[in-house]
Structure 1
Amino acid sequence: MVTSHVVTWEVTESLGYETSWIEIRGTTLKARGRAVGTRPEVHWISYDLDTGEDFVTRELHVRAATATGSRELALLHDGHGRWTANGEPLPEVDGALDCDLGLCPLTNTMPVLRHALQLGPGERTFLMAWVSVPDLTVHASQQTYTHLAHTETGARIRFTSGDYRRDVEFDGDGLVIDYQGLAHRLSLSPGRPRP
């Protein structure tokens, strides 16, 4: 079964907006998104994300445009823990299962779904291939997700990375409703199951 969503967030940290078209099939996710922001500088982002089983990132393709020009990133995971960015090895993120696109609420979904943190208690720490926006450089990022409480619509999960700590509200499908200080959802199309 496939479930499709279209989600729009106001991204308060970038003073912008993002819309993502998401398809979840079993334990895989495909998405494409568009974002515009004015912080840290005026930028336009488009991305395509594809995961394998257990929501493990296979590839993330990002295009960014700013006043100084445009750039592209092809971030690929080989399924064995090794990553490349535009064909160059990224040994500092070897072992990571997920990408994390900066200023993008969608990429918090994969680790939450993989460990069903939107459904019940748990705490998990991950190494992420974090992509800075809008320069599209890739960095290693240690992140911890902790289920805090059930809510009427899903769960509240604490996100921690170094000194950065925010509470994030997810719905039952593992999609961000409100990410404290970063983004909040404006709209969600009803999930449409398809065979």
Structure 2
Amino acid sequence: MSTSRVLTWNVMASGGYETAWTETGGGVLRARGRAVGTVPEPYWVSYDLDTGPGFVTRRLRVTVETAGRTRTLDLRHDGHGGWTADGERLPGFREAVDCDLGLCPLTNTMPVLRHGLHRGPGERRLLMAWVSVPALTVRPSWQTYTYLGAGERGARVRFVSGTFRSEVEFDAEGFVVDYPGLATRLS
């Protein structure tokens, strides 16, 4: 059985908003989202995300429009450690199973759902295919997710990447409710 939801966040880090239409079921997440930001420059983002079983990223298609140009990215994971960006092989991502779209609270969902970190104890250090916004460059990013306990609306999970750290609140379905410094979901 699949569940459909529409989620909207105030994305303070970009000076904008994001809305995602999501469908989850059978260990798979599909989402399409739209965002507007003003930092570092005004832009629009559109994305489509598809995962395979276990919430493992299969494909992320992104378009960013700024006053000066339009950029696109077709990021694909073959399920066996191989990643491509617009058809070109990406070295250095062999251990990555997730993408992480910059300034997008939705893409924190996959590792949390896969490892049940919105339901109980655990810690995972994971390599992500991190996509910058609005430039759409892809680079490897090590991230650690640690379950901290029950929260007001679900669970609190510590997120660490390099020197950045935040205590993120997820709802019972594994979607970001409050990500201090990045985004807060609107009711």
TM-score, L = length of structure 1: 0.95
Structure 2 match to 1:191? none
Query: How many correspondences in the alignment?
Result: 187
Structure 2 match to 1:193? none
Structure 2 match to 1:140? 140
Structure 2 match to 1:44? 44
Structure 1 match to 2:82? 82
Helix, strand or coil for the counterpart of 1:91?
A: coil
Helix, strand or coil for the counterpart of 2:40?
A: coil
What is the CA distance between 1:112 and its match in structure 2?
0.1
What is the CA distance between 1:95 and its match in structure 2?
2.0
How is 1:1-195 mapped onto 2 (pairs within 5 angstroms)?
A: 1-187=1-187
Show CA shifts across 1:155-189 (max 9, x none).
000000010001100000000000011000003xx
Show CA shifts across 1:17-61 (max 9, x none).
000000001100000000000001111000000000000000000
What is the CA distance between 1:68 and its match in structure 2?
1.4
Distance 1:95 1:163 in 2: 21
Bigger relative contact order, structure 1 or 2, given CA contacts below 8 A and separation 6+? 1
Show CA shifts across 1:131-158 (max 9, x none).
0000100000000000011123210000
Query: Runs ≥4 in structure 1, deviation > 2 angstroms?
Result: none
Distance 1:86 1:95 in 2: 20
What is the CA distance between 1:83 and its match in structure 2?
0.1
Unpaired segments ≥5 residues, structure 1:
188-195
Unpaired segments ≥5 residues, structure 2:
none
What percentage of residue pairs aligned between the two structures are identical?
A: 65
Q: Report if the CA contact (8 A) 1:76-1:84 is conserved.
A: yes
What is the CA distance between 1:92 and its match in structure 2?
1.7
Helix, strand or coil for the counterpart of 2:32?
A: strand
Distance 2:128 2:37 in 1: 23
Q: Report if the CA contact (8 A) 1:99-1:107 is conserved.
A: yes
Q: Report if the CA contact (8 A) 1:82-1:95 is conserved.
A: no
CA RMSD of aligned residues (A): 0.6
